[in-house]
């Protein structure tokens, strides 16, 4: 039996706000709110990987599994929990949602914390671009295949979601470039080359700091 604290999540999930189409919220209109949501979710996954007893692999990280509390704080919903092993845990069934699943995990059926890191990299791309994780009518048919090469070329501006208004300030743009760089590293093909979730948390904290430092200072 798995027991966890009940959290009121009346604001739906990240997926609702990114792909629900139409209604305004801090997540759709503010880059700071998006980075804060990513930071909250990354801290939760990092806790599962390093602090929980036993350590846990989520196996189903996606924007639909990140509910938002009444305060807009991001949570991580329960999914297919798996205890990690040194060489990756062999599983009978690949869990996850199309577009988020680590290709190496899908190929070998060995799941590791790096599998969650890959999936979270896709979530970061979702919040940067506002695009769904996969589609049927285009080639490539995944967000990772489409956006990661563009980011690697240094052309983040061409894929940024246009809904947050006004346009990113210079400080915000530096923060978003750091988020994009981190997302691209999370999507590297070999699991051992991806950052640990603790490193993702550190980069997102730095990105939020860049946004905070760029905000106008209040005068009293």
Residue extents of the structural domains in the chain: 14-203
Peptide bond between residue 38 and the one before it cis (omega within 30 degrees of 0): no
Spatial separation of the C-alpha atoms in residues 216 and 165, rounded to whole Å: 16
> CB neighbours (10 Å) of residue 206?
14
Average pLDDT of the residues in 106-130 = 94
CB 82, CB 89: distance < 8 Å = yes
pLDDT confidence of residue 11: 83
Spatial separation of the C-alpha atoms in residues 116 and 21, rounded to whole Å: 27
Peptide bond between residue 202 and the one before it cis (omega within 30 degrees of 0): no
Convert the pLDDT of each residue in 175-197 to its tens digit: 999 999 999 999 999 999 999 99
CB 187, CB 121: distance < 8 Å = yes
Spatial separation of the C-alpha atoms in residues 91 and 85, rounded to whole Å: 12
Question: pLDDT higher for 148 or 91?
Answer: 148
The domain covering 14-203 belongs, at the CATH homologous superfamily level, to Transferase(Phosphotransferase) domain 1 (1.10.510.10)
Average pLDDT, the chain: 86
pLDDT confidence of residue 76: 84
Residue 85 has pLDDT above 80, yes or no: no
pLDDT confidence of residue 3: 47
**Eight-state DSSP code of residue 217:** P
């Amino acid at each position: 039996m798995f027991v966890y604290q009940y959290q009121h999540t009346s604001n739906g999930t990240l997926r609702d706000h990114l792909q629900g189409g139409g209604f305004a919220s801090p997540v759709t209109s503010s880059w700071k709110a998006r980075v804060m949501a990513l930071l909250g979710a990354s801290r939760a996954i990092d806790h599962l990987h390093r602090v929980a007893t036993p350590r846990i692999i989520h196996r189903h990280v996606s924007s639909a599994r990140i509910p938002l509390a009444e305060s807009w704080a991001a949570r991580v919903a329960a999914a297919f929990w798996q205890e990690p092993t040194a060489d990756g845990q062999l599983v009978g069934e690949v869990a996850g949602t199309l577009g988020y699943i680590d290709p190496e995990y899908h190929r070998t059926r060995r799941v590791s914390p790096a599998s969650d890191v890959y999936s979270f990299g896709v979530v970061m791309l979702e919040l940067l671009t506002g695009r769904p994780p996969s589609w049927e009518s285009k080639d490539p048919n995944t967000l990772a295949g489409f956006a990661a090469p563009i980011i690697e070329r240094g052309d983040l501006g061409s894929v940024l979601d246009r809904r947050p208004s006004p346009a990113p300030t210079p400080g915000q743009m530096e923060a978003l470039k750091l988020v994009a760089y981190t997302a691209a590293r999370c999507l590297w093909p070999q699991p051992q080359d991806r950052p640990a979730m603790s490193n993702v948390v550190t980069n997102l904290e730095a990105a939020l700091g860049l946004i905070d430092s760029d905000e106008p200072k209040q005068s009293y």
